[in-house]
Amino acid sequence: MATKKTKPSKDAAPKDITNKKVDSLAPHMEDSAGELMTTDHGVKINDDQNSLKAGNRGGTLLEDFIMREKITHFDHERIPERIVHARGSAAHGVFQVYESQAKFTKAKFLEDPKAKTPVFVRFSTVAGSRGSSDLARDVRGFAVKFYTEEGNFDLVGNNIPVFFIQDAMKFPDLVHAVKPEPHNEMPQAASAHDTFWDFISLMPESAHMVMWTMSDRALPRSYRMMEGFGVHTFRFVNDKDEAHFVKFHWKPLLGVHSVAWDEAQNISGKDPDFHRRDLWEAIESGEFPEYELGVQIVAEKDEHNFDFDLLDPTKLIPEEIVPVKRIGKLTLNRNPDNFFAETEQVAFHVGHIVPGIDFTNDPLLQGRLFSYTDTQLIRLGGPNFHEIPINRPVVPVHNNQRDGFMRQQINKGRVSYNPNSLGGGCPYQAKMSEGGFTSFAERIDAKKVRERSKSFFDHFSQATLFFNSQSEPEKNHIVDALSFELGKVETIAIRERMLGILAQIDTGLATQVAYNLGLHVPKKPEQPMNQSIPADGDPKDFQPVKVNPKLKKSPALSMANTIKDSIRTRRIAILAADGVNENSLLEMKDALIAEGATVHVIAPKLGTITGENDTQIAVDQSLLTVASVLYDAVYVPGGTNSVATMAAEPDAIHFLNEAFKHCKAIAADTEALQVIEATYFSRKLPPDFTSKSVLMEGIVIGDDLNKLSSQFIAAVSQHRFWEREKPRKVPA
């Protein structure tokens, strides 16, 4: 046997590996500027415009290897899209822990505050295909690949902390139900149809998740303004082999914000790439998205001290019971160089963990451990998907696995098995002290059964907690969403069954939805409610139970309580035309930009507009190509001719009416009152609104530009004024 080579000490490990992933991708990047065209095998091409023929009007010859290679490659350019999470957008970044978490985990990237770990993050919708809209009412994927010095760790989560089902056995059923119906392939990227609600109405364990997906969480303003969750309960394991349960959270530093449902539908028509474009442009402009990694840690001895089961993926741990400790920051600082090679080919896997992080017996998590590998084998063509540059770890790979489709690593030597003597026993197995991964030694003593723990049978208490924790506007949005979704369901029996489910969550909620549907809430829901029971089980033994938890409300569950102290990266429209008051426009624009906002001057046509003093002002967008739904707020500057033009411009008035309808901040110079008075919503305002500098519902009017800009900035930072929504509905 050969003598084992000495490895670098732990202290010699690099502190900054942020460039390692960039360096590993560099050999695979090509810039064709100034280069001659070649085939995939390096043969220089003399003519890429004409196929080889038998005479200029003759048949194409089979020997034309250049054409055959070109067309064959084109025919195979598309890989199968993901079954779920098909439509995505991604970015490179870096993660850095604030202080060592060695007390809880031996994962090195969570131990050293000096270490910078490169990451690749992919956001996505779930139900729709690659060509669907970013603004569908849907769960959003939030998957993070950490390229750590111990190998890749994939934290594969969503922007909602719970899931529809408790057992992975039901995942194919869930996805089949929510996807377009097989007989007509409709509807795309939507859950408002019979098959989805038929399934959900027979699976009361979905009740909690349904409340989240019917809430504003399913309509994020931006990927940069939504939370992320690991969903499952994982384990932290330290170097003493002590374990703690852990839930992972991502907290966006810009706060958690949404759009209105009507707005989302309009955005889907105006710019279906709204979220994708928003992420790309923010990074390109240097406004790097930032999130803090938070953890909820529970000692093993406290596993059963809750009124819910920690291993139930339809449950969360309320932050008021176990606070979220923020332990590090994720910064996205570089867009992909090639969408297909990186965003499309990246392969996440919940089973990619590193020493110090381990699994629990969450039955949904256990099934995902199989499913992800199986999916990547089909989608990426074989077992070597880990060799695609975006998926490669920053550490060397040494094992006895060989061959397969698209093998890129060239292994030297005659040995591909272990144990061996011909290869000197290499590669060696790593001891725990050398960083070798060992599964946590959890004691298991049980019979093989197809059952669920009775601790999983509470399906409604946390759904009720979520609904009770919402603000009044958020509750109204949930009612509207359920009314819309169930209103699309053609089978009345399914609607009635869902009303029975909703009545278990909140009778007022069920009553309001029933009224909108023209139905009555059933006195008793259909029995058995839970259809996901063993075929030979007694239905009475599997009925949902409702726990009466001590916690009645959780402020952390309401978006109304999010951060509202910044207008960084908010998109603000300034409506102006020739004859605008330059000071009124430029001073407001400068004040907004100074606070980090993105400001667009929008005029009836592109080019430039001329100010009152003949100043030429560049126009960023025209009213012909943009709409209020693409902006967070709107300002109308003064200037006699500009005001007259805008007051007579239907698109400008519609822009303002729509911004008001969607509860956005609106500001106007006092000189621009004529434009405000031309709107429909001006009739909804108090009679003396022109005499007030600030109106309570996010409308700011004044002639002191310093005061006006500071008040407008404060209003925009509040995101929306939802209280104006119900009593102030206006046509737009």
What is the set of active-site residues? Answer: 85, 158
With beta carbons less than 8 A apart as the criterion, state whether 252 and 144 touch: no
Query: Using H for helix, E for strand and C for coil, what is the string for 103-142?
Result: CCCCCHHHCCCCCEEEEEEEEEECCCCCCCCCCCCCCEEE
d(CA 519, CA 211): 20
CA 471 to the chain's CA centroid: 23
- List, in sequence order, every residue forming a beta bridge with 329; answer none if it has no partner: 96, 292
The conformation of residue 344, written as its DSSP 8-state character, comes to: I
Q: Exposure pattern of 496-522 as b/e (b: 16+ CB <10 Å)? A: bbbbbbbbbbbeebbbbbbeebeeebb
With beta carbons less than 8 A apart as the criterion, state whether 226 and 159 touch: yes
With beta carbons less than 8 A apart as the criterion, state whether 502 and 201 touch: no
Pairing of strands 608-610, 694-695: unpaired
235 to each of 238, 307, 309, 330, 356, how far by Cα in Å? Answer: 10, 20, 15, 21, 8
Q: Exposure pattern of 257-271 as b/e (b: 16+ CB <10 Å)? A: bbbbbebbbbbbeeb
d(CA 223, CA 589): 25
C-beta atoms surrounding 398 within 10 Å: 10
d(CA 698, CA 700): 6
Give burial (CB, 10 Å; 0-12/13-18/19+) of 527: exposed
Cβ neighbours of residue 424 under 8 Å, at least 6 residues apart? 1, 2
With beta carbons less than 8 A apart as the criterion, state whether 191 and 125 touch: no
Map residue 410 onto helix, strand or coil: coil
d(CA 384, CA 376): 10
Ranges assigned E (strand) in 226-363:
228-229, 234-237, 243-252, 290-299, 325-334, 357-358
Cis-peptide, bond into residue 544, ω within 30° of zero: no
C-beta atoms surrounding 204 within 10 Å: 26
Pairing of strands 325-334, 598-603: unpaired
d(CA 500, CA 75): 51
The structure tokens 């059963």 sit at 304
Give burial (CB, 10 Å; 0-12/13-18/19+) of 421: exposed
The residue length of the chain stands at: 732
